[in-house]
Amino acid sequence: MKAREWLSGLWGGRPGPATRHITTVADGLAGGRDNFLLLRLLAASLVIYGHAPAITGGRGWPDVFVWLGWGSYSGDLAVDVFFVVSGFMIAGSYLRRRHLADFLWARLLRIYPAYIVCLLGTAFVLGAACTSLPLHDYYGSHEVVRYVSKNVQLGKGLLWELPGVFTGNPKLAFVNGSIWTLPAEVRMYLWVALAGVLGILSRRWCCNLLLAALFVCGLLAPAHVPLVPLASFLRLAGCFALGVFCCVNRERVPVGWWCVAVLAALAWLLHATPLYPFVFALALTAFVFAFGYASPWLGCLRFGDYSYGLYLWGYPVQQLVAHLAPRLTPAANILLAWPLAMLLAVLSWHLIEQPALRLKSLPGAVQAKARGVFARIRAGT
């Protein structure tokens, strides 16, 4: 969904025509057009690119971003982009609704329907097709049901394997290595909900103070950051916080490729210092908003948001391709897996995600109906 559809109600009025003089995030929002859908689809595709060498057994090229000396591989960079965009949009979502139940319901509808179908599909269809066990033994194994029941909780301890599935693959037998980010994402939603209920999110100075406090806590006591139970979540939380910061300070956050160039140059100068990861994160955030607002609107993906489905299905499909053709190179794995994963993403959006999102207004409709019933009762008495 485009950022303006999440946030235009917050900034007031209908979005105006796209402007050529975008200097801040607020200007970009007022312009009414963005390339965030395309950016997220590219990020999901980059995850598939990043996973290919490991899935095919470590053969093939070095990751291009590692080769360039960026200090991160493509999959991590793609996930960081997702979390910056998510922090920006999710903070705006709460500010637009300003109602906890509506916010949580919308988040539930966005995450769970497609995720549950992916878990069920990989466990009972893909797993059954690829297991080395007899089907009777596979379906009789409690590990199959446990894979779904445990992972659907989105706790910090996810299950990665199914009995006899992908055990002969070139490297890992993981069924879906991409879902590790979802527990972190859900925890960030809870942070936004907490900050919103307490009134912190709607007060810029107060939100900035909270973000600064969490940043200091992450530096000095990373194991004690609330709702961030794993060290691997800490970087994702930082990227999400940058997105929230850009939403709350939208009138003051500059947008432009010049900003990306300046921060990228500064990161290069600080490459050998402890400051590099932080400056690089700022450069990546600047890139996200420059791509979204300061690049020509490409008008892509008018039919749907396929990035989440591509992210969910990319890894299992790559493993399926590796299972059927274990000698393929990383490039061949990508060329076969991406179209199939994209097909599943399109089906996921049109058959599951989009219909689920139409239920966002359900809590409000139920409340309105309840008020009407109570009003009639009062009138009758």
Give the Cα separation of 205 and 207 in Å (integer). 6
380 lies in a domain?
no
pLDDT at residue 14 in the model: 36
pLDDT at residue 330 in the model: 93
Which range marks the domain in which residue 122 is found? 3-374
- Find residue 133's DSSP bridge partners: none
Average of per-residue pLDDT values in the chain: 89
DSSP result, 268-281: HHTTTSTTHHHHHH
381 lies in a domain?
no
272 lies in a domain?
yes
Residue with tokens 């982009």: 81
Mean pLDDT, range 328-343, rounded to an integer: 96
248 lies in a domain?
yes
Mean pLDDT, range 10-23, rounded to an integer: 47
Mean pLDDT, range 122-128, rounded to an integer: 97
- Residue 156: pLDDT over 60: yes
| Range of weakest confidence among 78-82, 97-101, 268-272, 363-367 | 363-367
Give the Cα separation of 49 and 75 in Å (integer). 8
The pLDDT confidence band at residue 93, using thresholds 50, 70 and 90, is: very high
Written as six digits, the tokens of 312 are: 């969910």
Mean pLDDT, range 295-307, rounded to an integer: 79
Give the Cα separation of 295 and 168 in Å (integer). 45
- Find residue 254's DSSP bridge partners: 24
Written as six digits, the tokens of 319 are: 């493993």
- Residue 299: pLDDT over 80: no
Percentage, residues of the chain above pLDDT 70: 88
pLDDT at residue 5 in the model: 44
Q: Are 63 and 165 in contact (CB under 8 A)?
A: no
Phi, psi of 208 (to 5 degrees): -60, -40
pLDDT at residue 138 in the model: 97
194 lies in a domain?
yes
336 Cβ partners below 8 Å, 6+ apart? 321, 325, 328
Give the Cα separation of 47 and 229 in Å (integer). 24
201 lies in a domain?
yes
Percentage, residues of the chain above pLDDT 90: 76
pLDDT at residue 303 in the model: 79
Which of the 8 DSSP states describes residue 24? B
pLDDT at residue 4 in the model: 45
Q: Which helix (H) or strand (E) holds 175?
A: none
Number of structural domains found in the chain: 1
pLDDT at residue 371 in the model: 55
**pLDDT digit string (tens) for 34-88?**
899 999 999 999 999 999 999 998 777 788 999 888 989 999 999 999 999 999 9
pLDDT at residue 380 in the model: 60
Give the Cα separation of 235 and 241 in Å (integer). 10
The pLDDT confidence band at residue 15, using thresholds 50, 70 and 90, is: very low
What is the Cα 150 distance to its own chain's centre? 20
Mean pLDDT, range 246-265, rounded to an integer: 96
379 lies in a domain?
no
Phi, psi of 131 (to 5 degrees): -70, 150
For the beta carbon of residue 28, count every other beta carbon within 10 angstroms: 24
Phi, psi of 254 (to 5 degrees): -75, 150
**pLDDT digit string (tens) for 182-207?**
999 999 999 999 999 999 999 999 99
- Largest interatomic CA distance in the chain: 78
pLDDT at residue 12 in the model: 35
